[in-house]
Amino acid sequence: MERGLLWLPLLATFIGLAWAGSAEYKKLEAYKVWADNFDQAKYDLYSVIGYRNGQITWGKATRKGIINLQTVAIADLSDVSLDIDGQTFADIDPENLDNLPSKGKAALSLNYKTDKDSTKIPFTQTDLAAKWVNYLQKFVALGI
Protein backbone atom coordinates (compact mmCIF):
# COMPACT_ATOMS: atom_id res chain seq x y z
CA MET A 1 0.00 0.00 0.00
CA GLU A 2 2.79 2.42 0.94
CA ARG A 3 4.62 1.71 -2.31
CA GLY A 4 1.52 2.53 -4.30
CA LEU A 5 1.24 5.88 -2.52
CA LEU A 6 4.89 6.62 -3.26
CA TRP A 7 4.28 6.14 -6.99
CA LEU A 8 1.21 8.40 -7.02
CA PRO A 9 3.17 11.71 -7.29
CA LEU A 10 5.21 10.26 -10.14
CA LEU A 11 2.03 9.25 -11.95
CA ALA A 12 0.61 12.75 -11.44
CA THR A 13 3.83 14.24 -12.85
CA PHE A 14 3.63 12.07 -15.97
CA ILE A 15 -0.01 13.01 -16.50
CA GLY A 16 0.90 16.71 -16.18
CA LEU A 17 3.76 16.35 -18.65
CA ALA A 18 1.53 14.50 -21.11
CA TRP A 19 -1.09 17.26 -20.88
CA ALA A 20 1.56 19.99 -21.39
CA GLY A 21 2.98 18.14 -24.41
CA SER A 22 -0.47 17.73 -25.90
CA ALA A 23 -1.21 21.43 -25.43
CA GLU A 24 2.06 22.43 -27.14
CA TYR A 25 1.39 20.02 -30.01
CA LYS A 26 -2.05 21.57 -30.56
CA LYS A 27 -0.48 25.05 -30.64
CA LEU A 28 2.03 23.91 -33.26
CA GLU A 29 -0.68 22.32 -35.39
CA ALA A 30 -2.76 25.51 -35.22
CA TYR A 31 0.32 27.48 -36.29
CA LYS A 32 1.00 25.15 -39.25
CA VAL A 33 -2.52 25.70 -40.59
CA TRP A 34 -2.20 29.47 -40.11
CA ALA A 35 1.32 29.66 -41.63
CA ASP A 36 0.27 28.03 -44.91
CA ASN A 37 -1.15 31.39 -46.03
CA PHE A 38 2.21 33.21 -45.84
CA ASP A 39 5.40 33.44 -47.89
CA GLN A 40 7.46 33.54 -44.70
CA ALA A 41 6.27 32.68 -41.18
CA LYS A 42 7.73 31.91 -37.76
CA TYR A 43 6.50 30.28 -34.57
CA ASP A 44 7.81 31.41 -31.22
CA LEU A 45 6.68 30.79 -27.66
CA TYR A 46 5.72 34.46 -27.38
CA SER A 47 4.22 35.12 -30.80
CA VAL A 48 3.72 34.09 -34.40
CA ILE A 49 4.50 36.32 -37.37
CA GLY A 50 3.93 36.00 -41.09
CA TYR A 51 4.69 38.04 -44.22
CA ARG A 52 2.85 38.01 -47.53
CA ASN A 53 2.10 40.54 -50.29
CA GLY A 54 3.44 43.56 -48.41
CA GLN A 55 1.57 42.73 -45.21
CA ILE A 56 2.98 41.66 -41.84
CA THR A 57 0.58 39.74 -39.61
CA TRP A 58 1.30 38.67 -36.04
CA GLY A 59 -0.50 37.24 -33.05
CA LYS A 60 -0.27 34.63 -30.30
CA ALA A 61 -0.59 30.87 -30.78
CA THR A 62 -2.99 28.98 -28.53
CA ARG A 63 -4.38 25.46 -28.58
CA LYS A 64 -7.55 26.77 -30.24
CA GLY A 65 -5.78 28.80 -32.91
CA ILE A 66 -4.03 32.11 -33.40
CA ILE A 67 -5.46 34.98 -31.33
CA ASN A 68 -4.91 38.75 -31.13
CA LEU A 69 -4.09 38.96 -34.84
CA GLN A 70 -2.84 42.32 -36.07
CA THR A 71 -1.78 43.31 -39.58
CA VAL A 72 0.24 46.22 -40.91
CA ALA A 73 1.27 47.12 -44.45
CA ILE A 74 4.99 47.45 -45.15
CA ALA A 75 4.21 50.76 -46.91
CA ASP A 76 3.08 52.19 -43.53
CA LEU A 77 6.44 51.47 -41.89
CA SER A 78 9.44 53.78 -41.78
CA ASP A 79 11.80 51.26 -40.23
CA VAL A 80 12.13 47.84 -38.64
CA SER A 81 14.60 47.37 -35.81
CA LEU A 82 15.58 44.90 -33.11
CA ASP A 83 15.23 45.77 -29.42
CA ILE A 84 17.13 43.68 -26.89
CA ASP A 85 16.57 44.76 -23.28
CA GLY A 86 15.82 48.32 -24.36
CA GLN A 87 18.85 48.59 -26.65
CA THR A 88 17.96 49.23 -30.32
CA PHE A 89 19.81 47.61 -33.22
CA ALA A 90 18.74 49.06 -36.58
CA ASP A 91 21.55 48.07 -38.94
CA ILE A 92 22.29 44.40 -38.41
CA ASP A 93 25.01 42.74 -40.44
CA PRO A 94 23.78 39.23 -41.35
CA GLU A 95 27.40 38.01 -41.29
CA ASN A 96 28.01 39.22 -37.72
CA LEU A 97 25.00 38.03 -35.74
CA ASP A 98 27.44 36.92 -33.02
CA ASN A 99 27.95 40.59 -32.09
CA LEU A 100 24.38 40.78 -30.78
CA PRO A 101 23.61 39.92 -27.16
CA SER A 102 22.53 36.28 -27.00
CA LYS A 103 20.47 36.73 -23.83
CA GLY A 104 17.76 39.21 -22.99
CA LYS A 105 14.24 40.12 -24.03
CA ALA A 106 14.24 40.49 -27.79
CA ALA A 107 11.49 42.21 -29.75
CA LEU A 108 10.99 43.15 -33.37
CA SER A 109 10.11 46.85 -33.40
CA LEU A 110 7.87 48.13 -36.21
CA ASN A 111 8.25 51.91 -36.52
CA TYR A 112 5.48 53.73 -38.38
CA LYS A 113 5.71 56.71 -40.75
CA THR A 114 2.96 58.44 -38.76
CA ASP A 115 3.12 59.51 -35.11
CA LYS A 116 1.74 56.14 -34.05
CA ASP A 117 3.78 54.38 -31.35
CA SER A 118 6.01 51.57 -32.54
CA THR A 119 4.76 48.01 -32.23
CA LYS A 120 6.91 45.41 -30.52
CA ILE A 121 6.65 41.73 -31.46
CA PRO A 122 8.42 39.57 -28.84
CA PHE A 123 10.93 36.84 -29.72
CA THR A 124 12.70 34.30 -27.52
CA GLN A 125 15.73 33.96 -29.82
CA THR A 126 17.74 37.08 -30.65
CA ASP A 127 19.37 35.57 -33.75
CA LEU A 128 15.99 34.62 -35.23
CA ALA A 129 14.69 38.13 -34.50
CA ALA A 130 17.76 39.62 -36.22
CA LYS A 131 17.13 37.50 -39.31
CA TRP A 132 13.53 38.74 -39.42
CA VAL A 133 14.73 42.35 -39.11
CA ASN A 134 17.03 41.86 -42.11
CA TYR A 135 14.27 40.11 -44.06
CA LEU A 136 11.69 42.84 -43.42
CA GLN A 137 14.11 45.75 -43.91
CA LYS A 138 14.53 44.72 -47.55
CA PHE A 139 10.81 45.25 -48.14
CA VAL A 140 10.67 48.47 -46.11
CA ALA A 141 13.54 49.89 -48.20
CA LEU A 142 11.59 49.07 -51.37
CA GLY A 143 8.38 50.47 -49.89
CA ILE A 144 6.33 47.38 -50.72
Q: What is the DSSP letter of 117?
A: P
* Predicted confidence (pLDDT) per residue in 23-75, tens digit: 999 999 999 999 998 999 999 888 999 999 889 999 998 888 889 999 999 88
Question: What CATH code is carried by the domain that includes residue 27?
Answer: 2.30.29
Cα dist. 23→39, 68, 124 in Å? 26, 19, 19
In angstroms, the CA 66 to CA 33 distance is: 10
Q: How far apart are the C-alpha atoms of 8 and 22, rounded to whole Å? A: 21
Q: Quote the number of domains for the chain.
A: 1
Domain span holding position 92: 2-142
> pTM value?
0.80
CB distance 59 to 72 below 8 Å:
no
* Integer-rounded Cα radius of gyration of the chain: 19
Distance CA 5, CA 137 (A): 59
The string of pLDDT tens digits covering residues 72-114 is 998 888 888 888 887 777 666 666 666 777 777 888 888 888 8
